[in-house]
Structure 1
Amino acid sequence: MDAVAQRVVIVNGRLFLPGTPAVARAEDEPTAVVVEDGTIAAVTSDAEARRLRHPRAEVIDAAGGLVLPGFDDAHLHVIPGGQWSGMLTLGDAATLPEMQARVAEYAAAHPEAPWIIGGGWHHAAWGDGRPAKEQLDLVVPSRPAMMICMDGHSYWVNSAALRAAGIDRDTPDPANGVIVRDPDGGEPTGWLKEKAGQLVYRVMPEPDRQDLKIALLRAVRALNAAGFTAVQDARTDPGEVPVWREVLAEGLLTLRSRIALPMAPEQSLAEWRATLDAHEELVAPLRGGDRLTGGILKGFVDGVIESRTAAMLAPYEGEEGRGAPAFEPEQLTAFTAEAHRRGWQVQLHAIGDRAVRMALDAFEAAGRDHRRRRHRVEHIEVIHPDDVRRFAELDVVASMQPSHAFSAPGRAHHWHGLIGADRAALNWPMSAIHRAGGVVALGSDWPVVDHDPFLTLHCAISADHALTLPQALAAYGQGSAYAAHAERRRGRLAVGMDADLVVLDRDLLETGEVLGAGVVATIVDGTVVHRAA
């Protein structure tokens, strides 16, 4: 990028600086940012910024809108997000008939599609019922169809999909997966949980490299337009890494990106060591990269509460089951310790209170230099009170997605009913972890939930254990940067920091109006990568 492209001056803004309160701007606050050669050269007054600016610098009038570090989504799935754009979505369908109508309409509009694939449904849409193949057979009788749950942990398939995958009454449950069966005859019902979905995925048409590249570029454009300057991809298939590198080499990766490789339980410790060898070779060229880095692993400790696969310390309400963890505790500790010893950061999906405790136990057992690794727990939908303080004690990042709690009609009621009022009282414990001194990083989990940063912020300040708006903004910038070992380069408006900025169309701190806010400009490395029309 040439030097001219990296000269920008932002004036007439409300700057989000450390300690900025949620009130109207004070007269003596700085209002301008001067950018030179990809870094912040000055945080100052409009008059001084105009004096300092280069004659050919681009000037952006913020018109009183908030200017802050670019949003950094600490947990999302970039290529899947790009793939889902324009596909069949069921997220706002509140009932089974609504979902069936939408599937039927999509199938009729795509007669050439060999498979009908969609997603975004939520368990609450069934009321007291459950996903069943007959429900999909009514609207897609001949072609295989699979509808993925909004959380990505359950799958609703029709009879044709079961036949294509060879799933019948004699098919055993795969490791860490459940084929839900009719209690009378043992026939698969059309509801697959966790790794059972892979039985269908393996017979579905796979996207080629060009398809993946198109999805990645589509996602990058959408994220830039929403104000994102950095993302942390929560699970990157090793086969996708060359696609990321190709987009980077072509100069099209206008997001600072960190990709996490998988840590799967279906292997021995010796096999895990061999997997780590392969992972290290794959991402070695990315270490220390400016736009694309690795160095982090993603593992699943449990599933989700809605399908009763989240690992809980006590049984689900009205049941004996507690949800089985994907890892045995000893295996999780051994895998984490091996990764820790080799210098990897580990992020662990843990939704149930037992899974959260297992993750923290594994990190504590891994070694004493926690601050160097900054291991992470993802989601943390419910936690035992005794474990709240451990995030700060172990320097473990709480990577949280508050919009999960508001992601579908009726979800909160359904979720609370499965675990009871006592455990539900400490749901999405953002403020509790923050008060105890822990670092909270915010993300969306796109495409599970929309990547809209204003939705995430709104949910973060509206939840039962809410952050204040300044705390939420800091968690979406500085907190996420800390989670990525990048807090010395981004996440704050300060001289010498990377010029990764977003200009909003309003001052959120003064108005308190978060939902519906817009992005005026997104700047990455001092270059404007998005301007509002």
Structure 2
Amino acid sequence: MLKQYSGQLILLICIAFLSLTFIPVQADTGPYADIVLLNGSVYTVEQNTDWSDHPLEAIAIKGNTILSVNSSQDIQKFIGPKTRVQDLSGKMVLPGFIDSHIHFGASAELTFGVNLSDCHSISEVQKLLADYNSDHPELDVIRGYGWNYFLFTESGPDKAIIDSVISDKPVILTSFDGHASWVNSKALEIADITAETPDPQGGKIEHDSNGQPTGVLRELAATNLVTIRVTPLSSKQIEDKLNVILPKAASYGITTADDAALTPEMIAAYSHLESQGKLPVRIFGEIVAVPELGQKQMALMELEQDIFNTYSDLNLLHTNINSSQTDSNIPPDSIALENISEYRDTKGLFRLQTGKLFLDGVVEGHTGYLLSPYTDKPDTNGMINWNISEFNQMISLLDRNEFQIDIHSIGDGAVRLSLDAYENAQTENGERDARHKISHIQLINSSDIQRLKSLHIIASLQPNWFYYDDNFKNVSLPYLGEERAEHMYTLKTLLDNDIPVAIGSDWPVGTDYLTYNPLDGIRTAVTRLPLPSNSTYTIPYRPEERISLKQAIESATYTGAYADFMENYTGTLEPGKLADIIVLDRDLFSLPPEDINKAHVIATYLEGKKVFEDPQAFTS
């Protein structure tokens, strides 16, 4: 049963019961390997070694564990009559990639419906909507994603644009950055959003000059006003999407991913896939703490029985929880428990250990929080989603309960407030190996870089944003002014100051909806150039912030493992560690930097199990 602390409403942070283990095991007690990869170029990514200058040749796997990394000659002693031997013919071997910030679960919704990411005019948007609606008469709600801000005049998107095409059913269109929804009049109607509706805590309802809602809802708190009134995607629909996305991730060499914002339906989907042995990627989930609840979240729920034994149907769980609350408008984004540590400490292919908070929004929506006002809107510095006192209390509580914390912070103002909150938590609770994170850091004041280091914060960055493109020209430059626009996305400076940087894609958020290939992000980190398919810009953005290929690989492997408290298990290729291994068709160090992403992963092993192979890549 659920026990509620009297007089307080609750933060709901959902932790699934997990059964698998990270502890390396052997397949049997014999001396021979199950799998041996011979005659390759094995880059171990071991710390404090010259691995990039002197690769090894072979690797032996037994059970889910690396048995040996050595020369092809010395590895022979591990080859027995039942050992499966693969001649790599000089191909490159690396630890599996770790995407430290991605949204696999949310992609089911963010990429559900009509894709607007290639639209360059309002008329294109309207045609795609009309065609999609005509092709799907069975849908009660039309969803879409990917629209960009520079399609519109200063007044922005308007509900009338959609109404002229679809007026009889709600339409919900998510922006390319995932931080705004553009809806029609029918959606506003079912959500009871009128000129008198106040902005929710942590969100903004845009209005026209007459005070009427335009149909633009900024940040999760505002978009929830509509989305909670329509039927959400089921865990089965999300699972079906994951069954497409995750094998593709394995084909890109991703063996671990941090899914940076999960709902109960996403958790149910992941849990079911794990229970069926169908997860080809290890998933670390982050559960969102929402500002709408404020101090009501200060008491965590106590769970006396396993959450999934008590409530096998997550919808029933929502009903039971919401019926015990006095506020029926709590968005069903998260479910929680107080004696959380035993669930966080279970180690499987799906694990939840991190609390996620969105402190600000995005520059594109003027909701990223800046230290100084926006250049094009000098009356605003952006938006803070939380009451700062409640935010600091929430950070301190999560830290005291030994959660890892990840704070979405785009603007330099939000980064500073995040550092203030972490410093306050450390003062109140004492130092520990918390490995808290700040995600994105589009802008940072130089004086705060040393604070990142002194507070032992991990910078979670997404290099596939780090280039000149139309979004820079049409949004960043006019919104921020030249000085700030030309000093975004610091990377090398952070590494030079010994700040751990874990990299990810943030897919499907951003301008590059079609890629979560780690090699694309690695290429951009090294070149600061866009992919040729995405932009005609040929001048590198902030070339002084380019990093070496070795540094980029470390950020995509070892540092990602460190950020997940997994550096003793994965992230490098060393005897005794889990066999999270990828094989590429060519040596990245032999390629010109701009060609790094022309390499292809041809085999991926997760804990010694081959989860992807290109059958045409091997001749024997």
- TM superposition score category, shorter chain reference: over 0.9
Higher alpha-carbon deviation: 347-356 or 212-221: 212-221
Q: TM-score, normalised by structure 2?
A: 0.80
Shift of 1:407: 9.9
Deviation digits for residues 236-273 of structure 1 (CA, Å, limit 9, x no counterpart): 22454333222222211222221112222223435322
Cα distance change on mapping 1:29 and 1:209 into 2, 3 Å: closer
Within the alignment, does 1:458 sit opposite 2:516 as a pair?
no
Secondary structure in 2 matching 1:198: helix
Q: What are structure 1's unaligned runs of at least 5 residues?
A: none
Residues 369-425 of structure 1 show CA distances to partners (whole Å, capped at 9, x for unaligned) of 555101100110011110112222111000011223459743454113211122223
Distance 1:18 1:526 in 2: 18
Unaligned stretches of 5+ in structure 2? 1-24, 304-335, 529-541, 616-620
Amino acid at match of 1:125: L
RMSD between superposed Cα atoms in Å: 2.7
Q: How does 1:167-186 map to 2 (within 5 A)?
A: 167-183=193-209, 185-186=210-211
SS in 2 for 1:173: coil
**Structure 1 counterpart SS, 2:363:** coil
Structure 1 SS opposite 2:196: coil
2:238 corresponds to 1:187: no
Shift of 1:335: 1.2
1:358 counterpart residue number:
417
Q: Aligned match of 1:489 in 561, 569, 573? A: 569
> Contact between 1:42 and 1:49, CA under 8 Å: does it hold in 2?
yes
Instruction: Please give the alpha-carbon distance, in whole angstroms, between the structure 2 residues aligned to 1:172 and 1:129.
Output: 20
- 2 CA distance for matches of 1:156 and 1:227? 35
Shift of 1:85: 5.7
Tell me how far 1:491 sits from its aligned partner: 0.7
Query: Counterpart of 1:97?
Result: 123
Segment drifting more, 141-150 vs 312-321:
141-150
Give the whole-Å Cα distance in 2 for the aligned partners of 1:6 and 1:234. 36
Among 461, 467, 479, the alignment partner of 1:400 is 461
Deviation at 1:51, TM superposition (A): 4.1
CA contact (8 A) 2:34 2:61 kept: yes
Moved more, 309-318 or 131-140: 131-140
Which of residues 415, 426, 429 is equivalent to 1:367? 426
Question: Residue type of the partner of 1:532?
Answer: D
| Corresponding position: 1:285 with 2:337 | no
Return the alpha-carbon distance in structure 1 between the equivalents of residues 365 and 491 of structure 2: 24
Which residue number in structure 2 is paired with residue 300 of structure 1? Answer: 358
Distance 1:24 1:245 in 2: 37
| Map 1:133-152 → 2, pairs under 5 A | 133-152=159-178
The answer to whether residue 524 in structure 2 is matched with residue 440 in structure 1 is no
Secondary structure of the residue aligned to 2:433 is helix
Farther off after superposition, 208-217 or 218-227: 208-217
Which residue of 125, 128, 131 maps to 2:151? 125
Q: Deviations over 1:169-197 (max 9, x none)?
A: 222222222111111x2111121111221
What residue identity is the alignment partner of 1:43? V
- Displacement of 1:447 in angstroms is 1.7
Q: How many pairs are equivalent?
A: 530
Deviation for aligned residue 1:440: 0.1
Distance, in Å, in 2 between the alignment partners of 1:16 and 1:240 is 35
Structure-2 residue corresponding to 1:500 = 580
- Counterpart AA for 1:501: I
CA, structure 1 residues 20+282, in 2 after alignment: closer, same or farther (shift >3 Å)?
closer
Return the offset for 1:36.
Answer: 1.1
1:468 equivalent in alignment to 2:493: no
Q: How far apart are 1:124 and its partner, in Å?
A: 2.4
Do the aligned partners of 1:124 and 1:411 also contact (CA within 8 Å) in 2?
no
Q: Aligned equivalents of 1:276 and 1:61: distance in 2?
A: 54
Alignment partner of 1:157 out of 157, 174, 183:
183
User: Percent identity among equivalent residues?
Assistant: 29
Using a 3 Å threshold, how does the CA distance of structure 1 residues 85 and 268 change in structure 2: closer, same or farther? closer
- Residue aligning to 2:401: 342
Deviations 1:432-451 (A, max 9, x none): 11111100001111221432
Residue in structure 2 matched with residue 11 of structure 1 by the alignment = 38
The CA deviation string for residues 12-65 of structure 1, in whole angstroms up to 9 with x for no partner, is 3222234899x9986x63121111111111111223334422333333343433
* Shift, 1:86, TM fit: 6.8
How far residue 283 of structure 1 moved from its aligned partner, in angstroms, is 7.1
CA shift, 1:363, in A, is 0.8
Q: Which residue of 1 is the match for residue 379 of structure 2?
A: 320
How far does residue 165 in structure 1 lie from its aligned partner after superposition? 2.2
- Contact 1:460–1:466, Cα closer than 8 Å, also in 2: yes
| C-alpha displacement of 1:485 | 0.8
Say whether the 8 Å CA contact 1:286–1:294 is kept in structure 2: yes
SS of equivalent residue, structure 1 residue 311: coil
- Matches of 1:25 and 1:170, distance apart in 2: 62
SS at match of 1:297: strand
d(CA) in 1 for partners of 2:85, 2:114:
41
Using the TM superposition, give the Cα deviation of residue 198 of structure 1 relative to its aligned residue in structure 2, in angstroms. 1.0
Confirm or deny: 8 A CA contact 1:505 1:519 kept in the other structure.
Answer: yes
SS of 1:42 mapped into structure 2: strand
Q: Which amino acid aligns with 1:175?
A: Q
1:36 to 1:85, Cα distance in 2 relative to 1, 3 A: farther
Letter in structure 2 aligned against 1:193: R
Change beyond 3 A, Cα 1:404–1:189:
same
Structure 2 residue aligned with 1:429: 490
Cα pair distance change 1:352/1:108, threshold 3 Å: same
In structure 1, give the amino acid aligned to 2:605.
Answer: I
Counterpart code for 2:524: C
Tell me if 1:200 matches 2:226.
Answer: yes
Evaluate the alpha carbon distance shift between residue 85 and residue 398 of structure 1 in structure 2; reply closer, same or farther with a 3 A threshold.
same
Cα distance in 2 for residues equivalent to 1:360 and 1:110: 47
Provide, for residues 94-114 of structure 1, a one-character-per-residue CA deviation record: whole Å limited to 9, x for no partner: 333333333333222222222
Structure 2 distance, partners of 1:391, 1:518, is 35
Corresponding position of 1:518: 600
Cα shift at 1:127: 5.8
Matched position secondary structure for 2:502: strand
* Preserved CA contact (<8 Å) 1:430 1:467: yes
SS in 2 for 1:279: coil
Amino acid at match of 1:288: T
Q: 1:234 aligns with which of 234, 256, 260?
A: 260
- Range that drifts further, 101-110 or 372-381: 101-110
Q: Counterpart in 2 of 1:388?
A: 449
Amino acid at match of 2:163: D
Asked if structure 1 preserves the Cα contact closer than 8 Å seen for 2:106 and 2:261, the reply is no
Other structure's SS at 1:410 match:
helix
Matched, 1:30 2:56: yes
- Rate the CA distance shift 1:281–1:251 in 2: closer, same or farther, 3 A: farther
Tell me, yes or no, if the aligned pair for 2:356 and 2:405 is still in contact at 8 Å.
yes
Q: CA deviation at 1:526?
A: 0.5
Does 279-288 or 265-274 show the bigger shift? 279-288
Question: What SS does the corresponding residue of 1:266 show, helix, strand or coil?
Answer: helix
The corresponding residue for 2:235 is: 209
CA shift at 1:346, angstroms? 0.7
Matched, 1:528 2:610: yes
> Are residues 418 and 62 of structure 1, via their aligned partners in 2, closer, same or farther at CA, if it must alter by over 3 Å?
farther
CA distance in 1, matches of 2:477, 2:89: 43
Q: SS at 2:300's partner residue?
A: helix
